[in-house]
Amino acid sequence: MLQLIKTRCGIAELITIYDEDILSYMADAKADMMDSGVPESIVESEIPAVVTAVTLYVKANMEEDRADAEQYMELYRSKVFRLALKEEGV
């Protein structure tokens, strides 16, 4: 998932200086999703909706002074809400 998120954030695969931060944000996003009611099995399945949610979380947090950070966080929250409504195994 790391490489896909880096690509979605416009970070080349060979650039590794941000990997530790991105991995930390990925873990934070997954924990937040579970705290928000998304079943762990869905979070760990890495279905496209989960990857998108994690990407939105990373984008919102990579540069806190981004003008669009709040928009990314709102999109993340919306995606998490929909994921929390999903049934496990679906």
Residue 33 lies in a domain: yes
Residue 56 lies in a domain: yes
**Which is more confidently placed, 46 or 63?**
46
> Of 35, 41, 32, nearest to 87 (Cα)?
41
Mean pLDDT of the chain: 92
**pLDDT-derived band of residue 62, with 50, 70 and 90 as boundaries?**
confident
Q: For residues 80 and 78, what is the distance between their CA atoms, to the nearest angstrom? A: 5
Residue 90 lies in a domain: no
Q: Are 16 and 6 in contact (CB under 8 A)?
A: no
Position 86 scores a pLDDT of: 84
Span 48-74, average pLDDT? 90
Note down the domain range covering 39: 2-85
Number of domains the chain is built from: 1
Residue 48 lies in a domain: yes
Residue 57 lies in a domain: yes
On the question of pLDDT at 7 being above 90, the answer is yes
Span 13-30, average pLDDT? 96
Q: What is the pLDDT of residues 28-44, one digit of tens each?
A: 999 999 999 999 999 99
> Of 38, 37, 3, nearest to 19 (Cα)?
3
Q: For residues 83 and 62, what is the distance between their CA atoms, to the nearest angstrom? A: 23
